[in-house]
A and B are shown apart, each in its own frame.
Chain A
Amino acid sequence: MAETAVAVQSDEHHAHEDHHGPRGWLKYIWSTDHKMIGMQYMFTGMFMALIGGFMAYVFRMQLAFPGISVPLYGQVSPGEYNALITNHGTIMIFWVAMPVLIAAFGNYLIPLMIGADDMVFPRINRLSYQIFFLSAVVLLASLFVEGGGFGGAWTAYPPLSAVAEYNQTDLGSSLWLIAVALEFVAFLLGGINFITTLMNSRAPGMKAYDIPLVCWMIVIASILFMLSVGPLLAGAVMLLFDQTIGTGFYDPARGGDPILWQHLFWFFGHPEVYVVLLPALGVTIEIIATFSRKKVFGYKLMLYTVVATGVLSFFVWAHHQFIAGIDPRMANVFTVTTLLISVPIAELCFVIIATLYGGSITLTTPMLWALAFVAEFLIGGVTGIFLGASGADIYFHDTYFVLAHFHYTFFPIAIIGTFAAFTYWFPKMFGKMMNETLGKIHFWGTIISFNVIFIPLFVLGMGGQHRRIYNYQHFPDLAGPEMYQLREIATVALLVMLAFQLVFFYNCIRSWMSGEKAGKNPWKSNTLEWTTESPPGHGNWPADQMPNVYRGPYEYSHPDREEDYWPQNEPT
């Protein structure tokens, strides 16, 4: 393996020396450099997050103050409301969480952290981003076609999603589906690259257990994605045929079955949760190890637990369908498998908490984000038990309790995890330190308002408020003043949270323009990306200084050493 790795690297080097790639502004479009592609994924993802956030603002305003003309938008019709919630969900999962956590940080970090000069297939990588970009354009276009955007929820259950006469968004639903399918193609291409690169391009001396956990997590996530997406892609093609050429795969009148889609969707949909969770978890582990100056408590334990979680996640999908009309006896089986997931997840949580024990903890901005990830994700995890228990799910299914639960998992993953990673690797990406005071203002503003948004929604869910309703006036039991009060609190907190993001953008631009120079290794961290220049040049290291690896990534505070860190590339 080591010999192959060396061979691949020297070939690649040769290529880099011969051919420096496109020049001028073209290098931003046609670059095959993994760092550039990672940044492109990140900024596209952040742009989409702004659109998804704007959608949340519009429909939360409608929910708190029904019928008002929302500033910057106008009045929200029921059809538009459905399109907004559908696309908010779709965008936040497929165009924010996945591109930023897997594609952006996977691309940026994997070659740097394993000591390679680029991905194994740079041009496939390029193609992956281009298809992703196309998919984003198609999705945004679907909002502006005749009939408006698709409004059948991000789960797109047929027959509503399959029959134009029912959803009344003929073009919107087809374009939405095509966009999602294109996005999957982009991530399959990216995933091939991550897996192959991790296997073949590691620095000499880097054994399997010397790989930083975040790289493992992104690769395991890519494997989970590849294993689960096939059935959904097949299902999506059948749905597209139902929509466009009149087949009846999901039409009971012609021998089809609408529940079939739910099985295909959730067979992908549940592993997908872990696909986005694992990279965020990996980021958290890196940051917690660095800022508590501690070795990760049980590297192999962690790795095996994550693999076990991944395997188990393929056997729990029907907990989304307890009351969907499946055989009621099946619910018992899936309750058992679902609750079993709590065992490895609790293990991961305990391992992270144990890593803090005996440490020397500095609360920098990235560390605050990483710790907040653990604290907030725990709320998402424990509320999931209510929903995994079939008996309780009869009541909670499709209420705001579910909504609050998965926002307590996805927000820590997609937003807190991203901010943790972004603030931690910002010095490497741009060569400048971020302002800590502004970073902490942004952190506390975001975290407090996040909790104020979603805790009232748990209460509303317990009060029986069901999801995807544009106006509760038709439901007398849900139209009381105390319920409106809770909805208003959540909406105002959302406005506060969105306002605090301005601090973040200001901090980014200010730090990028005039921040303190970062140097190679501002956090005194062990992993390989900190041994090169900030930002790293093309090829990551000068050709004659490619790193060799002598030890694992978390040798902090080793008793034999005066320094409290021990870079992976430092000879013994």
Chain B
Amino acid sequence: MDRFLIQASTYAADIDGLILLVGVLVGFWFVACEGIFFWLIWKFRARPGVKSEYLTGSEKKIRRWISIPHLLVLVCDVFIVIGSIQVWYKVKQQLPEADSTIRVTGQQWAWTFQHPGPDNELDTADDIVTIGELYVEVEKTYHFQLQAVDVLHSFSVPVFRLKQDAVPGRSITGWFQPTVTGEFDIQCAEICGIGHGMMAARIFIQDANQHAAWVAGIPSTTP
């Protein structure tokens, strides 16, 4: 996966690892099934004078060719379920201690980001509110409070492998910790009306110095 898109959060590698696990198990079954399928089509092509075998499906010896792979599929499922629940727990169910909390609000058709400002607390006079630009510091753990004003939106940061729908009337809390500096896309991944295709934002992951300078350089605003 990191060949397609870099990993920029602590859990990106876990999600990619799960995708790889599923890919290997499923890939094996896929290749085996298609291989046998095409081999049978070739092997049992019609030849003059050769009649088909009469098999009903109740012959125990032949039945094994189905029942054993069948159990193996179930075993693979168990591995995938375990892997999946582990990753899910880490990303969505648990909430590590936060260094800072930001508020993300989706509306038709823009993202608004409320940064806590110099005092590192939301809903105080020194909060920094930006539209379409999210500024975070690398290797710090963030909580986000996700809200929507009008319709459903979905806060998606592909380099983090993070996605969460924003629902009007609710505030959904999640977390992330960036691992590399840079500038990446934030998407709205849930159709939200005519401007859905323009509801883009950027995330700026800065190192400690840059981030401190950014926080200091912005005149504080009240939300």
Contact = CB atoms under 8 A, between A and B. Distances in A.
15 contacts: A159-B168, A296-B57, A298-B58, A298-B63, A325-B170, A332-B85, A335-B84, A353-B36, A354-B62, A382-B30, A392-B84, A392-B87, A397-B163, A462-B1, A556-B52
Given A356-B40, A462-B1, A323 B88 contact: no
Contact of B197 (A81, A378, A459, A463): A81
A391 interface: yes
A475 interface: yes
A398 B73 contact: no
A480 B23 CA distance: 26
Contacts of B191: 82, 151-153, 157, 160, 467-468
A166 interface: yes
A391 B190 contact: no
B66 A151 contact: no
B65 A464 contact: no
Contacts of A394: 15, 87-88, 91-92, 161-163
Contacts of A151: 191, 193-194
Contacts of B74: 343
B163 A323 contact: yes
Contact of A391 (B18, B47, B154, B169): B18
Classify chain A: how many residues form its interface, as a range: 35 or more
A346 interface: yes
Given A159-B168, A258-B152, A358-B52, A391 B87 contact: yes
Contacts of B55: 294-295, 297, 357-358
A201 interface: no
Contacts of A158: 151
A78 B57 contact: no
Interface of A: 78-79, 81-82, 151-153, 157-160, 163, 166-168, 252-253, 257-259, 292-299, 301, 323-325, 328-329, 331-332, 335-336, 339-340, 342-343, 346-347, 349-351, 353-354, 356-363, 371, 374-375, 378-379, 382-383, 385-386, 389-392, 394-395, 397-399, 459, 462-464, 466-472, 474-478, 556-559, 564
B193 A160 contact: yes
A360 B77 CA distance: 35
B29 interface: yes
Residue from B83, B166, B190 with most neighbouring chain A CB atoms (10 Å): B190
Nearest to A395: B161
A395 B158 contact: yes
A379 B92 contact: no
Given A253-B169, A394-B91, A339 B197 contact: no
Nearest to B186: A475
Contacts of B63: 298
A358 B100 CA distance: 66
A379 B30 contact: yes
Nearest to A398: B189
A162 B176 CA distance: 33
A470 B197 contact: yes
A539 B80 CA distance: 54
A166 B81 contact: no
A459 B1 CA distance: 10
Contact of B88 (A257, A390, A462): A390
B213 interface: no
B150 interface: yes
Nearest to A295: B56
B204 interface: no
B192 A346 contact: no
